[in-house]
Amino acid sequence: MNIPFKGIIAYPITPFTEQDKVDIPLFKTLVERLVAAGAHGIAPLGSTGVLPYLTDEEKEAVTEATIQQVAGRAPILAGVSNLTTERTIYHARFAEKAGADAVMIIPISYWKLTDEEIFRHYEAVANAVSIPIMAYNNPATGGVDMSPALLKRLLQIPNVTMIKESTGDVQRMHYLRRELGEEVAFYNGSNPLALAAFSAGANGWCTAATNLIPELNLELYSAISENNYELAREVFYKQLRLLQFIVNKGLPRAIQAGLKLAGVEAGYPRLPLKPLTAEETGQLQALLQECLQ
């Protein structure tokens, strides 16, 4: 099975110009920071990258810019989720042709989808591309909560080889591992669950925190890889408050604010999303300093 990811998979934000255009040059410098920091994978057009707020053309430009900039130094997981099956297939094909190593798909909901509709949606995309697919469960953003049983069923589709779980409930991961055995490739997308997910056997951690605290993210994975949970616990608790903060405030808002605090240009958000308030930015600054002690 083709499972190109493990460890720390980093999610860049999508920055905008003051005129509300995607700022591709700035995006490339943000991707370069993640690669240079040692991220084990790069995932453009995730929730952090505000995928659903972009036009088709903008999505294509972001995918191409990532592949150019990374230039083979890390595997690339491109987000291609869309409300309609037709558009999801379109973007998955584009990503494959552009050179992505895998695509990530969350079944975005307006009308609640039946399990059968979700299964056929993944199947239709899987039939249209050859690269592996990561099925992504995140009811808090996508509005659909795929049951562990449905995720298990999705893994029967040949190139659906990876699951990303972001419900924040470690028992979902327990189920997958217990039902599917040690070989199942599951990833944690809930930042405050990083330690629990690794102890449950997760292959990797999908996180936007690497934009702000790459060393702490990588140290955690390193301790886990060495089966040293005392060290892992220490490193985890050091970064926990920051992880909770960026989740609570919304990743695109919080990462952008954190980059600016670190002196890194990060552009503008797209309305209706707004920057953190001054008070929130102050809280973030305190948490970042706490992480560095």
Would you give the binding string for its own copies spanning residues 244-263, x where CB under 8 A is met? ------xxxx----------
d(CA 59, CA 49) in angstroms, rounded, equals 10
- Which residue in the set 47, 63, 66, 137 belongs to the binding site for its own copies (CB under 8 A)? 47
In the structure encoding, which two tokens stand for residue 66, read together?
């990532």
Q: Is 147 in the site for its own copies (CB under 8 A)?
A: no
164 included as an active-site residue:
yes
In the structure encoding, which two tokens stand for residue 116, read together?
């059968």
Nearest alpha carbon to residue 242 among 223, 263, 214, 203: 214
d(CA 253, CA 245) in angstroms, rounded, equals 11
Binding to its own copies (CB under 8 A) within 103-142 occurs at: 107-108, 110-114, 116-118, 120-121, 124, 140-142
- Residue matched to tokens 């990083």: 194
Nearest distance from residue 35's CB to its own copies, in Å? 25
136, 175, 187, 221: the active-site residue: 136
Of 29-37, 95-103, 149-157, 229-237, which segment contacts its own copies by CB under 8 A? 229-237
Q: Tally Cβ neighbours within 10 Å of residue 259.
A: 19
- Which residue in the set 68, 147, 225, 228 belongs to the binding site for its own copies (CB under 8 A)? 228
59, 122, 164, 249: the active-site residue: 164
Beta pairing class for 7-10 and 41-42: parallel
Q: Is 18 in the site for its own copies (CB under 8 A)?
A: no
Collapsed DSSP state (helix, strand, coil) of residue 105:
strand
- Residue matched to tokens 């088709």: 56
Collapsed DSSP state (helix, strand, coil) of residue 114:
coil
Nearest distance from residue 171's CB to its own copies, in Å? 6
If the CB atoms of residues 18 and 230 are measured against its own copies, the closer one turns out to be 230
d(CA 243, CA 241) in angstroms, rounded, equals 5
If the CB atoms of residues 67 and 187 are measured against its own copies, the closer one turns out to be 187
End-to-end Cα separation, the chain, in angstroms: 41
Q: Is 178 in the site for its own copies (CB under 8 A)?
A: yes
- Which residue in the set 25, 72, 263, 272 belongs to the binding site for its own copies (CB under 8 A)? 272
Q: Tally Cβ neighbours within 10 Å of residue 73.
A: 12
Q: Is 201 in the site for its own copies (CB under 8 A)?
A: yes
Binding to its own copies (CB under 8 A) within 206-225 occurs at: none
d(CA 76, CA 40) in angstroms, rounded, equals 9
If the CB atoms of residues 4 and 15 are measured against its own copies, the closer one turns out to be 15
How many residues interact with its own copies (rule CB under 8 A)? 59
Of 61-69, 152-160, 205-213, 236-244, which segment contacts its own copies by CB under 8 A? 236-244
Measured over the CA atoms of residue 252, residue 256, residue 261 and residue 264, the dihedral's sign is: positive
59 included as an active-site residue:
no
**What distances in angstroms separate CA 282 from CA 171, 285, 286, 290, one per listed residue?**
35, 5, 6, 13
Q: What residues make contact with its own copies under the rule CB under 8 A?
A: 20, 47, 50-53, 83-86, 107-108, 110-114, 116-118, 120-121, 124, 140-143, 168-171, 174, 177-178, 192-193, 195-196, 199-201, 227-230, 232-233, 237, 240-241, 250-253, 270-274
Task: List the catalytic residues.
Answer: 136, 164
